[in-house]
Chains A and B, each alone.
Chain A
Amino acid sequence: DIQMTQSPSFVSAFVGDRVSITCRASQGISNWVAWYQQKPGTAPKLLMYAASSLQSGVPSRFSGSGSGTEFTLTISSLQPEDFATYYCQQVNSFPLTFGGGTKVEIK
């Protein structure tokens, strides 16, 4: 199975800050990574697919990059509604696997 190692597991940041979250795959997976946002008590929401393609309706302050084994989700200017937990997922091969999550909290 492909392991997805996500870091950091916790980020404390101010509104307006730039935040980056990294996911490392245990083997090369081209650009087959998706990113999700989950707010407390709700289901996850797809933000990004194919590493850098923004899902419809997702604000442009979110961006994704990377290929091979290292991937990054960046929020250019953190907004109050962005405080949530973020997960990466590899969709290169079955079984699909998630990173451990990054909780973004208000400083």
Chain B
Amino acid sequence: QVQLVQSGAEVKKSGSSVKVSCSASGVRSSSYAIHWVRQAPGQGLEWVGEIHVIFGTTNYAQKFQDRVAITTDEFTGTAYMQLSGLTPEDTAIYYCARAPHNPEYCNFGCCPAWEWGQGTMVTVSS
């Protein structure tokens, strides 16, 4: 059974950075990506970006391109999302999610997220 465990809640000041971790366990296949999705209070889901855990290739939403970095430690099975230049508009729950790569349900590496972490609340104050 795959489980994703994220780091704890963070409170940050505007202009600072935050780094959230996501540790995967119970994964049998190495061909998968870790996605990061955020959800502002009372709002919908917003895709931030993703990384393939073996190849290290990343894809980011244009909105975050200049200030997000998603990395992975293949030895520990941990992925990280660092977001810099924080503003109060970045206040949200940040989820990591695992997307296995399988041509049955993926289109050239674009895959749905099968398992999700519990979420990490990031609060940014001015």
Hey, which bits of chain A sit against chain B, CB under 8 A? 1, 30, 32, 34, 36, 38, 43-46, 49-50, 53, 55, 87, 89, 91-101
Residues of B within 8 A of A1 (CB): 61-62
Residues of A within 8 A of B97 (CB): 43-44
Taken together as a complex, chains A and B put the C-alpha atoms of A94 and B47 apart, in Å, by 10
Query: Can you list, as one digit per residue, whether each of B56-92 has a CB less than 8 Å from chain A (1) or not (0)?
Result: 0001111000000000000000000000000000000
Nearest Cβ on chain B to A91's Cβ, whole angstroms: 4
Nearest Cβ on chain A to B5's Cβ, whole angstroms: 12
User: CB of B55 within 8 A of chain A?
Assistant: no
From A43, A87, A92, A99, B95 is in contact (CB under 8 Å) with A43
Verify B107–A43 contact, CB threshold 8 A.
no
Nearest Cβ on chain B to A104's Cβ, whole angstroms: 14
From B47, B49, B62, A98 is in contact (CB under 8 Å) with B47
Verify B106–A91 contact, CB threshold 8 A.
yes
Instruction: Given A43-B117, A46-B113, A89-B112, decide whether A101 and B44 contact each other with a Cβ distance below 8 A.
Output: yes
Q: What 9 A-B pairs come out closest when comparing CB atoms?
A: A34-B112, A43-B116, A94-B59, A95-B61, A49-B105, A91-B110, A101-B44, A98-B45, A96-B47
Taken together as a complex, chains A and B put the C-alpha atoms of A21 and B100 apart, in Å, by 26
Taken together as a complex, chains A and B put the C-alpha atoms of A36 and B116 apart, in Å, by 11
Looking at A1, A32, A45, A95, the one whose CB has the most chain B CB atoms below 10 A away is A95
Query: Can you list, as one digit per residue, whether each of B85-126 has a CB less than 8 Å from chain A (1) or not (0)?
Result: 000000000010100000011111011111011110000000
